[in-house]
Amino acid sequence: MPESWWGNAIFSLIPTIVLGLIFWMVMRMIIRGDRTARLKYDQIEAEERAKAGLPPRADARAAAPADAAVEPVQVPTAEPPPAEAPPRG
């Protein structure tokens, strides 16, 4: 174990940095693998649709540009109950 303050600081930070780098590499590999699998699946699907004589798939992600303005969704609200029920009679 290092005896100086700086030595202890560096010695205690190295495991954290190494684990952070390992975590980053694993997450990067997972995300890249997923992206590659999705692209390959889309390619295979397009080939199979062409073989079957079907039109190309309409992709919702490709139909709307990423920077398009999104219209707000109106949520229906329940009307408040009437203050008093009309008298029957």
Q: Which amino acid is at 32?
A: R
What pTM, to 2 d.p., does this model score?
0.52
Separation of alpha carbons 68 and 60, rounded Å: 13
Tens-digit pLDDT profile for residues 31-75: 999 999 999 999 999 999 999 998 888 774 554 455 555 566 666
CA dihedral angle for residue 26, residue 28, residue 30, residue 31, rounded to 10 degrees:
160
